[in-house]
Amino acid sequence: MTDDDTRSAVYAELASVGAYGVRPGHALITMVEPHPGHEYAYNRWYEDDHFIAGAMAMPWIYAGRRWVATRELQQLRYPEESAVARPVTAGCYITVYWLTEGRYDEHMRWTVSINKRLNRDGRVHQARTHVFTAFQDHEATVYRDGAAGPRDFHALDHPYAGLVVEVIDTESSEQREELLEWLRSRHLPKRLRGTPAAMVTVFRPTPLPGDRMAYVKEVEEVDTRLTLLWFLEADPRERFTEVCGGLDEEVAASGLGRVELVAPFIPTVPGTDRYVDELR
């Protein structure tokens, strides 16, 4: 293969222009349910191939981490009637990626193209369902310890023991702005104090491109939803209620939205099938 085949000369030109900071301006959050009987095959495909070829090898993704919800963790989710996961236990794997701020459009052009290529080459595992998959724009990060400790751009590399995904819906885009301010200035600083949760990042979903792969459904509630990622220093199997119990009641009491999902996860162990036999 020659330089002409890969157009390598263009890369030097592209690298000399555009944003190249470290802030996680965008995220890809993808929660997936492997079909029954395909759990091991899905885990190996995603970890051995897709995590790299379908994400980390792409331009402007600079961090990524996989998380898993065992049956025990699935049973901790609420509310029982969720607009996100039906049933609420669906989606036992989630992967989160950080994208460089200001590089969303460039990344999307690449990811649509590479996923079409992977699909054409038979490198896409079809026995899975996308429960909650969306690119999202970063809105805020709230830290428990202020300026001390890892920053949000470290969050997917730091060895956090757990992740809790919280999804909140509002009635309008205006109410979402009010909710964001309440979360950032009042609710989260108070809620984080003295807990094993080191930070919460807040994102809002963005529409997927029209030429997305057919197996990824359109993003819902683009104008009225916020996604919160709670990064925990303790295993959520032991400290979940302390950290995230009753979030739905507190949001409802604010009058600014309704919690549609609170779901705890623990990190996968790369290169292994650990936890796969604990999903069902």
pLDDT digits (tens, 9 = 90+) for 24-42: 999 999 999 999 999 999 9
In this model, does residue 3 exceed pLDDT 60?
no
pTM value is 0.95
Return the biggest CA–CA distance within the chain: 63
**% residues pLDDT > 70 (the chain):** 95
Cβ(55)–Cβ(233) below 8 Å? no
pLDDT score for 219? 79
In this model, does residue 160 exceed pLDDT 60?
yes
In this model, does residue 211 exceed pLDDT 90?
no
Phi, psi angles (nearest 5°) of residue 129: -125, 130
C-alpha to C-alpha distance for 226 and 143, rounded to whole angstroms = 18
Q: Is 96 exposed, middle or buried (0-12, 13-18, 19+ CB in 10 A)?
A: buried
Q: Average pLDDT of 38-50?
A: 98
pLDDT digits (tens, 9 = 90+) for 75-100: 999 999 999 999 999 999 999 999 99
pLDDT score for 15? 85
pLDDT score for 210? 64
Q: Average pLDDT of 14-32?
A: 93
- Identify the band that residue 173 occupies on the pLDDT scale cut at 50, 70 and 90: very high
In whole numbers, what is the pLDDT of the chain averaged over residues? 94
* Single-letter code of the amino acid located at 252: A
pLDDT score for 1? 55
Report the half-sphere exposure of 63 (CA within 13 A, side-chain side).
17
Residue 259, SS3? Answer: strand
* Residue 162, number of CB atoms within 10 A of its CB: 25
pLDDT score for 30? 97
pLDDT digits (tens, 9 = 90+) for 115-154: 999 999 999 999 999 999 999 999 999 999 999 999 999 9
In this model, does residue 175 exceed pLDDT 60?
yes
**% residues pLDDT > 90 (the chain):** 89
Distances (CA, A) of 61 to 20, 25, 107, 123, 277: 11, 11, 8, 20, 30
In this model, does residue 220 exceed pLDDT 90?
no
pLDDT score for 123? 96
pLDDT score for 11? 85
> Which residues lie closer than 8 Å to 260 by C-beta, 6 or more apart?
79, 82, 83, 84, 167, 168, 169
pLDDT score for 229? 98
